[in-house]
Chain A
Amino acid sequence: MEVKGNSNGILKRISGPVVTAVGLNAHMYDVVQVGDEKLMGEIIRIEGDKTIIQVYENTSGIRPGEPVVNTGLSLSVELGPGLLTSIYDGIQRPLELLVEKMGNFIERGVTAPGLSHEKLWEFVPVVRKGDAVVAGTVIGEVQETNILTKIMVPPKSKGGVVSEIKSGEFTIDDVVCTLDNGEEIAMMQVWPVRVPRPVTEKMNPDIPLITGQRILDGLFPIAKGGTAAIPGPFGSGKTVTQQALAKWSDAQIVVYIGCGERGNEMTEVLTEFPELEDPKSGKPLMERTVLIANTSNMPVAAREASVYTGITIAEYFRDMGFDVSLMADSTSRWAEAMREISSRLEEMPGEEGYPAYLAARLSEFYERAGRVETLNHESGSVTVIGAVSPPGGDFSEPVTQNTLRIVKCFWALDAKLSQRRHFPAINWLNSYSLYLDTLSKWYDENVSPEWNGLRIWAMEVLQKEAELQEIVQLVGSDALPDEEQITIEVARMLREIFLQQNAFDPVDTYCSMQKQFDIMKAINTYAVLAYGAQKLGVPPTKVITIAAKNDLPQVKFMTDYKEEITRINAAMGTEIGALKEAYQK
């Protein structure tokens, strides 16, 4: 990195990831090199001659008196061809390169650029000499994986007329385009992570992100460009849900941030994703994915940075016109990193020791989501889905509460459900989506005009069941009126067949909208038949125990299920028809 003159200081104090230097010509958020080993750090506070620095690497053995050098740059990421399929730490060091440079364990003092500066990429221009371009204009394309990524005029460019445009193989630093004002454009852009990338305007999210998860698409859908939180105690399914979304959601690009979580979970994504196919393109899922792994035992300051690194990369792809979804597992670990740094700074703590700016940071982060008109006047989106890990599973804690105030989908995981292996353990009574109204038109037009009605019906049955369960808890289920015994049974079917979905079943892990509709419709068909028979005097136990409906759960595990579900619908009709006849006589 280039170093500004007269910017050397001396370390004065070291206490964990936070160090103090004196004599530094400092600006907030400048990146500095700390100590003889040149550990990377960032300036987070200035007090007179003292500069407080958070260090992205382990500070063991560092002593007062060692030098500190200001690079004069903000913490930034390299954006360009080579991002896809990569796995980075919180400050965009490629983990693969780190293994090469320092072996199986993460040591320190090694810099590694985010993108390869040697690799050649085939640049195909899409503008010609004489074309006028502005910031954000796409000037060329690169076949990065199976995905064709765009090369854009950097956001801060003044624009101009193309005076030279190249074609062929180049590194990311080579100039591929020159403007009449002399500006030279290479494939790589560098962008400071804490600054949102500009857009023309924010648009209303009105297209759903189809996730292939029945409870989400069916009851609590999220829009492309929307925000969602998945809070839940440990082991309730945050990670599995996030990974299912990373695998199956119909985003074009996925950025997955493992923020202060387990190493093995990231390894699993690394081994699994190259093997799995995108249900839409049929191509390996890894080819559309960027991973950021700053696990729980990696330095906390880099954990704090990891969400910014991730969202900046997501925005970069959005600017190309892609629908990007970003998963952050877990935002609570990010908040804890802020808390850890803040307490080392001896800042006045807010609620539960979190810094007073917790709420502001969270909302700034989620605000970077959205469906936008890009600078290039195309539509792109970043959907942000954050896991929240409340201590003791108690949602009243500050991170959950502050997140709730911002996000529009709340997918509340419930330990009671996960303990009985009801997965995804999303509690249907506490969860919500504020996108239902804006998305209903899409479902009408693209799934079925019946869809919205069925959804409302299903929610009503589930609500009713919860009320009835309170009565059952007092008097037993046999004491319920006939009609309500059927409601209990229909609700059970909704829960066990529609809502439960095993992420590890090769077929059921993903469920198309059509199949979701067919399953829901079959349960509804049963309900209509059952209530009809009961009105004619057929005892509920008879209606509830018809054999035909026992085959319905199996439909979930079938790829070609159409014939079977048609057969079941017909068989239910026949069996209930026979019951009606028998009891009418």
Chain B
Amino acid sequence: MKEYRTINKIAGPLIFVEKTEPVGYEELVNIVQADGTVKRGQVLDTSDDFVVVQVFESTAGIGRDAGVRFTGETIKMPVSRDMLGRILSGAGKPKDGGPDIVPEKRLDIGGAAINPYARQSPADFIQTGISTIDATNTLVRGQKLPIFSGSGLPHNEIALQIARQARVPGSTEDFAVVFAAMGITKEEENQFMADFERTGALEHAVVFLNLADDPAVERIITPRLALTTAEYLAFELGYHVLVILTDMTNYCEALRQIGAAREEVPGRRGYPGYMYTDLASLYERAGLIKGLKGSVTQLSILTMPGDDITHPIADLSGYITEGQIVVNRDLHRKGIYPPINVLPSLSRLMNNGIGEGKTRDDHKKVTDQMYAAYAEGNDLRGLVAIVGKDALSERDQRLLEFADHFENRFVRQGHDENRTIEDSLDLAWELLATLPEELLVRIDRGLIQKYHPKYRKEA
């Protein structure tokens, strides 16, 4: 392999190399510093005049005297079954003192798109044991459902509780967790690792760690390494893989940094115009494939800057993922765990995974009814502050109380409380029964007769 010493310019994470032989777009590059350190990078722009290389580590220490080697291939990830139980760096190097991965295969980390014709619609209900997910925003196997949170909110606890409790009822198939940390703090890392060790989850997990003090640009490849591993485990080895990516906000910051270094015309709030496409190339790597056994389910976490759901990171994510679980600061302040606000939360694949033969025949209608009642009760809180409770009609007073019950009994649950879907739905009926029956317009008469506590008692 030829080594060039023709670096002309270094700007942020980018280096510009001149007078090379033809170099491939997105080719892997090794940069050899004067002191012998080798860093990795990737070709972003190639022409016969110059080549732009994005370096995945800090460019500190790289000078015009550094050597540049073009490897002639795009970035590959060595994968193997033995990765389960291993802890790797954000760049995929062992971080647990163990041996190098002996590859069974080397896969391109770019990840080609799954042909929509080859996809299988996700439909298997995953019980997480959390009512606000199972009953109202149901997760199904192969879904990409992120947690939209804010700094200081307990999204990690929620993600861990899901990872601990998530089961497809009745299924005993092989499962694995792929965990990719991007720019999280040491403390957060400890929180995750301690829980993985305590529950024995580590045995079934592959962990990629890019911490807050690791190079920011490395975050661009960390999720791609994780997803390549997940696809291998799922589609070649038949595992049901849960991928946790955290924190997508740090990923997007790294993307913005590279855009700025390339002097690109920025899109909204300085993020690159292609961020939607770029995020899609990660989030869309989830799902099921017809005729294959495994699945990739994605649970990414992002912290919304300023708790703003219209911020480009949350907004573009929401446009790509199959719903979102929104963690809310007001509920958190009220001391409610998990502080999930169901109103802006959504699971788009819910309808595929619920109903008779999957969860229960009343599931969809009960959920709709609870949403409607909670939304209305919640709105009335504003009114009560102005006119006082007495100015409300009887109907409105009931709705107002419903909103309180909903938060305190349905939303609130313990860190280790694992509710079955039946428990969650029965609880929902208990709360709905506090409302006058004629308010339950979203539920068919037949279901009311079957499940409403009033009739159940009679029967």
Contact = CB atoms under 8 A, between A and B. Distances in A.
Interface of A: 12-16, 20, 58-66, 87, 95-96, 98-99, 103-107, 233-235, 258, 260, 262-264, 266-268, 270-271, 293, 295-298, 300, 333, 336, 339-340, 343, 349, 352-353, 389, 391-394, 415, 419-422, 472-479, 496-497, 502, 504, 545, 547, 550, 553-554, 557
Contacts of B441: 496-497, 550, 553
B112 A264 contact: no
15 contacts: A58-B112, A60-B25, A61-B26, A99-B117, A104-B114, A104-B118, A105-B112, A263-B116, A353-B267, A391-B268, A421-B368, A504-B351, A547-B438, A550-B438, A553-B441
Contacts of B277: 260, 296-297, 300, 336, 340
Given A61-B24, A63-B22, A421-B368, A336 B289 contact: no
Contact of A267 (B120, B324, B387): B120
Contacts of B392: 476-478
B265 A353 contact: yes
Contacts of B273: 336, 339-340, 343, 353
Nearest to A394: B310
A296 B121 contact: no
A523 to B, nearest CB: 13
Interface in B108-137: 108, 110, 112-122
Given A14-B45, A15-B45, A421-B375, A235 B387 contact: no
B22 A333 contact: no
Interface stretch (B166-174, B240-248, B312-320): B312-320
Interface string B227-268: 000000001000000000000000000000000000011111
B117 A95 contact: yes
A439 B382 CA distance: 42
Most buried by A among B117, B277, B376: B117
A420 B45 contact: no
Nearest to A97: B117
Given A233-B318, A343-B264, A504-B364, 12 more contacts: A104-B292, A105-B115, A105-B118, A264-B322, A295-B284, A389-B319, A391-B312, A392-B312, A420-B371, A420-B372, A420-B375, A502-B368
B444 A557 contact: yes
Interface stretch (B5-13, B57-65, B331-339, B342-350): B342-350
B120 A477 contact: no
Contacts of B48: 12-13, 64-65
Nearest to B50: A13
Interface in B133-161: 142
Contacts of B287: 263-264
A394 B73 CA distance: 43
B391 A298 contact: no
A235 B444 contact: no
A107 to B, nearest CB: 6
A98 B274 contact: no
Interface in B83-123: 108, 110, 112-122
Nearest to A503: B351
B323 interface: yes
- With most chain B CB atoms within 10 A of its CB, the pick from A87, A295, A297 is A297
A572 to B, nearest CB: 14
- Secondary structure class of chain B's binding surface, majority of residues: mixed
Interface in B46-62: 46-49
B274 to A, nearest CB: 5
Nearest to A393: B310
A276 to B, nearest CB: 14
Interface in B13-61: 22-27, 44-49
Given A15-B44, A99-B118, A472 B383 contact: yes
A267 B372 contact: no
A266 B311 CA distance: 27
Q: In this complex, which of B110, B114, B292, B371 has the most chain A Cβ atoms within 10 angstroms of its Cβ?
A: B114
A63 B48 CA distance: 9
B266 to A, nearest CB: 8
A104 B396 contact: no
B115 A98 contact: yes
Contact of A477 (B26, B396, B438, B442): B396
Contact of B46 (A15, A58, A419, A420): A15
A263 B24 contact: no
Contacts of A392: 310-312, 315
Interface in B274-316: 274, 276-277, 280-281, 284-285, 287, 289-290, 292, 310-312, 315-316
A357 to B, nearest CB: 16
Contacts of B445: 554
B190 interface: no
Contacts of B267: 339, 352-353
Given A295-B284, A420-B372, A421-B371, A64 B113 contact: no
B393 interface: yes
A362 B270 CA distance: 26
A89 to B, nearest CB: 9
B115 A95 contact: yes
A115 to B, nearest CB: 17
B116 A293 contact: yes
Nearest to A234: B318
Contacts of B44: 15
Contacts of B276: 260, 296, 333, 336
B388 to A, nearest CB: 8
Contact of A264 (B119, B281, B371): B119
A64 B27 contact: no
B386 interface: yes
Interface in B384-403: 386-387, 391-393, 396
Contact of B284 (A297, A300, A504, A554): A297
Nearest to B119: A267
Contacts of B311: 392
B74 interface: yes
A352 B268 contact: yes
Contact of A87 (B27, B116, B346, B391): B116
A103 B266 CA distance: 37
Contact of A63 (B25, B108, B310, B343): B25
B371 to A, nearest CB: 4
A285 to B, nearest CB: 16
A476 B391 contact: yes
Contacts of A295: 113, 116, 280, 284
A267 B46 contact: no
A66 to B, nearest CB: 8
A270 B445 CA distance: 33
Given A12-B48, A296-B277, A476-B391, A104 B289 contact: yes
A511 B267 CA distance: 43
A201 to B, nearest CB: 38
A479 B445 CA distance: 33
Contacts of B235: 104
Tell me which of B142, B273, B318, B372 has the highest count of chain A C-beta atoms within 10 A of its own C-beta. Answer: B273
A472 B44 CA distance: 59
A204 B115 CA distance: 41
A554 B351 contact: no
Nearest to A272: B121
Contacts of A12: 47-48
Interface string B346-386: 10110110000000000010001001100110000011001
A20 to B, nearest CB: 7
A271 B121 CA distance: 8
A296 B118 contact: no
**Which of A107, A233, A419 neighbours the largest number of chain B CB atoms within 10 Å of its CB?**
A419
A497 B438 CA distance: 13
Nearest to A291: B116
B114 to A, nearest CB: 6
Identify the interface centre among B45, B47, B375: most chain A CB within 10 Å of its CB.
Answer: B47
Nearest to B118: A104
Given A95-B116, A264-B322, A421 B444 contact: no
A392 B114 CA distance: 28
